[in-house]
């Protein structure tokens, strides 16, 4: 019987992190038509949690899948990302930005005690609800 031998120079393969077991995805309503999707579990591996704000509710399942996919890639690829960077994952293209709590909801502060990365549109079109920019004063 042939016996397969592992080369003596090989190193043990790092075990792949299964995000379906290690990450929890929360989907929270932010109003009648939009929601907040975010991860819990990335911090245990030394990475920022991930989130998408103001996502149309009919897209929340897709958003959760995207966060799982991105989380798996970050945890298993060894690639190093930073905020401001544009990331393409399959057909999804987004920019990583620093997540900030909604000042109108003090209960959210616990989610932001450590760094959170928010996935935003690559065109940087700010959401008028989550990321309002002050209008210029005309007088």
DSSP string, the chain: -------TT--PPPPPP-HHHH-EEEEEE-SSSEEEEEEESSGGGT--EEEEEEEEGGGHHHHHHHHHHHHHHHHHH-----TT-EEEETTEEEEEEE----TT-GGGGGGGSS-EEEEE-TT----TTTS--PPPP--
| Window of 3-11, 24-32, 63-71, 122-130 that interacts with Zn ion by CB under 5 A | 24-32
Query: In this chain, which residue has its C-beta nearest to Zn ion?
Result: 26
Near Zn ion by CB under 5 A, which window of 22-30, 99-107, 114-122, 127-135? 22-30
Q: Which is nearer to Zn ion, 74 or 116 (CB)?
A: 116
Closer Cβ to Zn ion, 79 or 107, answer by number:
107
Q: Confirm or reject binding of residue 26 to Zn ion (CB under 5 A).
A: yes
Least Å distance, CB 33 to Zn ion, is: 20
Q: Which residues bind Zn ion (CB under 5 A)?
A: 26
């Amino acid at each position: 019987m042939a016996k397969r031998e592992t080369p003596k120079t090989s190193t043990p393969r790092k075990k792949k992190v299964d995000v379906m077991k290690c990450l929890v995805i929360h989907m929270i309503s932010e109003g009648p038509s939009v929601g907040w999707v975010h991860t819990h579990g990335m911090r245990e591996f030394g990475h920022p949690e991930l989130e998408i704000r103001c996502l149309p509710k009919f897209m929340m399942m897709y958003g959760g899948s995207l966060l799982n996919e991105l989380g798996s890639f970050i945890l298993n690829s060894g690639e190093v990302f930073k905020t401001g960077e544009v990331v393409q994952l399959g057909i999804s293209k987004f920019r990583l930005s620093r997540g900030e709590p909604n000042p109108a909801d003090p209960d959210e502060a616990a989610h932001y005690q450590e760094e959170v990365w928010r996935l935003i549109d690559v065109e940087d079109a700010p959401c008028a609800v989550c990321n309002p920019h002050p209008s210029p004063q005309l007088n």
